[in-house]
A and B are shown apart, each in its own frame.
Chain A
Amino acid sequence: MVAALSGSKLRARRMALGLRQGDVAQAAGLSASYLNLIEHNRRRVPPDVLSRLAAALSDTPEAFADGGGGAALDDLRAVALAWPAAEFARTDEFAQRFPGWAEAVLAMHHRSMAQEAAIAAVNDRMSHDPHLSASLHEVLSAVASVRSTSVILAETDDLEPEWQARFMRNLDQDSARLAKGAEALVRYLDSGGQIDAQGSASPQEEVEAWASGLDWQIASADIPSALSASARDMARALQGDIRADHASLPNAAFRAAIAAHGPDPLAIASALSAPPFAAFRRLAFAPDLGLGLVACDGSGTLVLRRPIPGFSLPRFGAACPLWPLFTALARPMQAIEAVVEVGAAIPNAPRFSLRAFGMASHPAGFGGPELRRAMMLIIPASAQAAPVQGVGATCRTCLRTHCPARREPSILAGAPERNSAPNSGL
Chain B
Amino acid sequence: MAGHILLIEDEPNIAEAIRFLLGRDGWQVTVLTTGQGAIAEIARLCPQLVILDLMLPVRSGLQILTDIRADPATQDLPVLMLTAKGQERDREAALAAGVSNFMTKPFDNKEMCAAVRTLMGGD
Contacts and interface: CB of A to CB of B under 8 A. Distances in A.
A324 to B, nearest CB: 37
A143 B105 contact: yes
Contacts, number: 70
Nearest to A141: B11
Given A123-B86, A136-B84, A151-B109, A144 B14 contact: yes
Given A143-B106, A147-B106, A163-B20, A137 B13 contact: no
A419 interface: no
- Interface range on chain A: under 10, 10 to 19, 20 to 34, or 35 or more? 20 to 34
A149 B17 contact: yes
B16 interface: yes
A148 B84 contact: no
21 contacts: A83-B108, A119-B86, A123-B86, A140-B106, A141-B105, A144-B11, A145-B11, A145-B13, A145-B17, A146-B106, A147-B106, A147-B107, A148-B106, A148-B107, A152-B109, A155-B109, A163-B20, A166-B16, A167-B20, A170-B13, A170-B17
B96 to A, nearest CB: 16
A148 B110 contact: no
A126 B86 contact: yes
Contacts of B111: 85
Interface string A123-149: 100110000011011001101111111
A140 B21 CA distance: 20
A134 B17 CA distance: 22
- Interface range on chain B: under 10, 10 to 19, 20 to 34, or 35 or more? 20 to 34
B86 A144 contact: no
Given A119-B86, A123-B86, A143-B106, A137 B55 contact: yes
A208 to B, nearest CB: 25
> By CB atoms of chain A within 10 A, which of B17, B105, B107, B112 has the most?
B17
Interface of A: 83, 85-86, 119, 123, 126-127, 133-134, 136-137, 140-141, 143-149, 151-152, 155-156, 163, 166-167, 170, 173-174
Given A148-B106, A151-B109, A141 B17 contact: no
B44 interface: no
Interface string B82-123: 001111010000000000000001111111100000000000
A141 B89 contact: no
A123 B86 CA distance: 6
Given A123-B86, A136-B86, A144-B107, 8 more contacts: A83-B108, A140-B84, A141-B105, A143-B106, A148-B14, A149-B13, A152-B109, A170-B16
Contacts of B16: 166-167, 170
Top 8 nearest A-B pairs (CB, nearest first) are A144-B105, A85-B108, A144-B106, A147-B106, A148-B17, A145-B13, A170-B13, A140-B84
Interface in B35-51: none
